[in-house]
Amino acid sequence: MTTTTIAKGLEGVLFTETKLTFIDGTAGVLEHLGIPIQQWAEKSTFEELSFALLHARLPKADELAQFDAALKANRAVPAELVSLIEAFPKGVHPMQALRTAVSHLGLFDADAENITEEGRYALSVRLIAQFSTIIAAIARTQEGQPVVAPRADLTHAGNFLYMLTGKEPTEEQARLFDIALVLHVDHGMNASTFTAIATASTLSDMYSAITSAVGSLKGPLHGGANEAVMDMLDEIGTVDKAEAYITEKLDRKEKIMGVGHRVYKYFDPRSRVLRDYAAHVAEKEGKSDYYAILETIERVIVERLSSKGIYPNVDFYSGTVYSDLGIKKEFFTPIFALARISGWCASVNEYTLNNRILRPDAVYTGAREAAYVEIQDR
């Protein structure tokens, strides 16, 4: 069936069914398995949400314990991969490094090409566990610091912060980071999830699907926006300059990073949760002007652009939370990947159970039935 109506950017195109994530963009609602994101953030953990999406149901206590143990048992990565990361050129963006490292990791996995349901599940568990180790190793290497081996007595969030800094985080830091991960785990058919599915739909392997997804998340219109927000905050500098900066940018019809969304035409519910944490940390620690600048930008955006359905998205406040945890802005997008790996794997696994190769079409607008012109006659 072919139609000549073009859905630019595939907006509103339905290509599959899913039981994982529901979004009502007009009301600002996000649910995983029907449970609102606010409840996941308040009551759950990255580990539990990852299990829930991979199995399309909540785990019982013993199932969650087994899943957690499997993640912990899979945290280590091959020494060859650590050596490769250490040999990456200095100054490459961590998302470039992550893309290459994930692809390389596949070379050491004897089961990498297993695309059975069980094979994809086992690979998902490994990838979720090892993403954390890879990203921390990239960060340590770029800082000129020795890579820190994972610990099996810490949560996924706590272990990541430990491998990143070499210091065991406080319970509060680990929990705050865990909530940030929970908020980023999945979001329906976003560009990187769609990319992962498109790759997997050819019956390609998990490493290929996830490597493609990392490349897609990297762009500033998608996951890369969290770093771009921090660039903007650094450029603004102090809160007294924020309103004029944003007003001038909007007058020049430039896009503001961290606002606008293909699906949300109202506040992204995740941005509300992150705003509250950013406010809490700013008040408690008095660390930076970032929160005050973001509040001002949000006010101007809502005044000027809410009639167009433009509001802050998940990337707007997340960087402030990471920054208060001492994380550098180049690692904001890898941290997005650290969370979204679970959503990518769950969506790939769900789609491939009922697979059909993804192959949309384009309306051809070029010449037809033209004669070949010899090179010397052109």
Binding mask 301-330 for ligand OAA (x = CB under 6 A): ------------xx----------------
23: which strand partners?
Answer: 30
30: which strand partners?
Answer: 23
222 sits near ligand ACO (criterion: CB under 6 A): yes
Size of the site for ligand OAA (CB under 6 A): 7
Of 29, 76, 149, 263, which one interacts with ligand OAA (CB under 6 A)? 263
Which range of residues in 220-228, 279-287, 321-329, 364-372 is near ligand ACO by CB under 6 A? Answer: 220-228
Q: Using an 8 Å Cβ cutoff, are 115 and 124 in contact?
A: no
Q: What is the largest CA-CA distance in the chain?
A: 75
Q: Using an 8 Å Cβ cutoff, are 95 and 217 in contact?
A: yes
Task: In whole angstroms, give the CA distance from residue 361 to residue 201.
Answer: 16
Q: Which is nearer to ligand ACO, 104 or 222 (CB)?
A: 222
- Residue 252 binds what, of ligand OAA, ligand ACO, none (CB under 5 to 8 Å, by partner type)? none
Task: In whole angstroms, give the CA distance from residue 56 to residue 50.
Answer: 10
Tokens 């998302």 locate to 95
313 sits near ligand ACO (criterion: CB under 6 A): yes
Q: Which of 109, 178, 186, 315 is catalytic?
A: 315
Task: In whole angstroms, give the CA distance from residue 204 to residue 225.
Answer: 29
304 sits near ligand ACO (criterion: CB under 6 A): no
SS3 28: coil
Size of the site for ligand ACO (CB under 6 A): 20
Of 147, 200, 213, 310, which one interacts with ligand ACO (CB under 6 A)? 310
- Residue 263 binds what, of ligand OAA, ligand ACO, none (CB under 5 to 8 Å, by partner type)? ligand OAA
Q: Using an 8 Å Cβ cutoff, are 50 and 185 in contact?
A: yes
Q: Please indicate whether residue 315 is annotated as part of the active site.
A: yes
* Chain positions contacting ligand OAA, by CB under 6 A: 187-188, 190, 262-263, 313-314
